[in-house]
Amino acid sequence: MKILAIETSCDETAASVVENSKGAFEILSNAISSQEKVHAKYGGIVPEVAARLHVEKILPIIESALKTAKCNWKKIDYIAVTAGPGLVSSLMIGVETAKALAYAFNKPLLKVNHIEGHLISALTTYHSPLTFPAVALVVSGGHTQIILVKDYLKYKLIGETRDDAAGEAFDKAAKILGLGYPGGPAISREADKVKGKSSKLKVKLPRPMIKSNDFDMSFSGLKTAVLYAWRDTKKKSDEARAEMAREFQQAVIDVLISKTIKAAKEYNAKTLILGGGVAANSALRDALTDSAKKESLELLIPDIKLTGDNAAMIGMAAYYHIKNKNFTEPFNLRADPQWELV
């Protein structure tokens, strides 16, 4: 079974051909055109610009995905597309393109939730059936959620950020420290410069809500704490900046891991799943690997290439919907920018 998947929820135009035989995924192509450099000039994503670039890139990216996968339309069995959440003007380009293609080539169409894609992105490297229940930590630029996965496609939201998403906090902290956009990779690079070194700065940022009796989180106060701590840092040297980045990153990681492990224990989970753009963060990956080992939990971490927005994860999520025959009529499908997975 071959699935052509399309993803345009934010600032990546992406298409992929994913195959599944006997339950194991093979990503035959994963084409991505990133608009990162264009938006970096503005310090953040400009929706109108993003939409225009999606219009320009969508067909060449789909062609490129088909070519790399050595596929033509005859060989494609299904078309899947991200229908939300995301920027409405960006989502619309992918959705309308998928509708037109499904109609023209008479292929069954599936809508996929972007967060579900991130949640499932770790499953490529994992060929045996999952052991449920699992607890998933999805950390992206727009979402930070802890989701109980009871079975394939059976989710329950057990915790989320009450304000900023973790990725958003990385982006804002990077801006405060003058590190540019996107902030996640920039903070991570800075933190690595002083990795393992003792601290001269002696700044301790808060770990918001780490002791709260639930699985919710909050990152907006942490951003403000960075703002004041950096303002009050007298010698704003390169080393001080790197130390501040490391302390901020560690504060976010401490909260994410503490809440995720607490949720795994509470729900008696056997498996931990990580996904989303922030899952590219190597300190987070290492810390979660250590914690999972300590708690004897199986950990699924996506390949770095599948942490940021991509269409392969949408194709993989679509596979489970195909098994459930969750098809969509092309003329009924609309982009749904607020679509909550759970």
Interface contacts to ligand KG4, rule CB under 6 A? 10, 118, 140-142, 167-168, 170-171, 182-185, 188, 276-278, 280-281, 308-309
Cβ distance to ligand KG4 smaller for residue 62 or 173: 173
Tell the smallest beta-carbon distance from residue 10 to Zn ion (Å): 6
Q: How far is the CB of 187 from ligand KG4 (least distance, A)?
A: 6
Rounded to the nearest whole angstrom, what is the least distance from the CB of residue 267 to ligand KG4 in the complex?
24
Residues 235-264 that bind Zn ion (CB under 5 A): none
Compare residues 276 and 330 and give the one whose CB is closer to ligand KG4. 276
- Closest CB to ligand KG4 among 277 and 315? 277
- Considering only residues 95, 208, 309, 311, which one is a binding residue for Zn ion as defined by CB under 5 A? 309
Residue 54 interacts with which of Zn ion, ligand KG4, none, CB < 5 to 8 Å by class: none
272 binding partner (options ligand KG4, Zn ion, none; Cβ < 5 to 8 Å by kind)? none
- Give the shortest CB-334-to-ligand KG4 separation in angstroms: 20
Tokens 């990385």: give the residue: 170
Nearest approach, Cβ of residue 39 and ligand KG4 (Å): 11
- Burial-class residue 255 by CB neighbours within 10 Å (0-12, 13-18, 19+): buried
**Binder to Zn ion among 8, 16, 33, 140 (CB under 5 A)?**
140
185 binds, among ligand KG4, Zn ion, none (CB under 5 to 8 A by kind): ligand KG4
Q: How far apart are CA 219 and CA 133, in angstroms?
A: 27
Of the two residues 269 and 314, which places its CB atom closer to ligand KG4 in the complex?
A: 314
Based on the shown chain and the rule CB under 5 A, indicate whether residue 190 belongs to the binding site for Zn ion: no
According to DSSP, the β-strands at 12-21 and 2-7 are antiparallel
Of the listed pieces 19-27, 63-71, 140-148, 220-228, which binds Zn ion according to CB under 5 A? Answer: 140-148
Considering beta carbons, is residue 7 or 96 the nearer one to ligand KG4? 7
Interface positions with Zn ion (CB under 5 A) = 140, 309
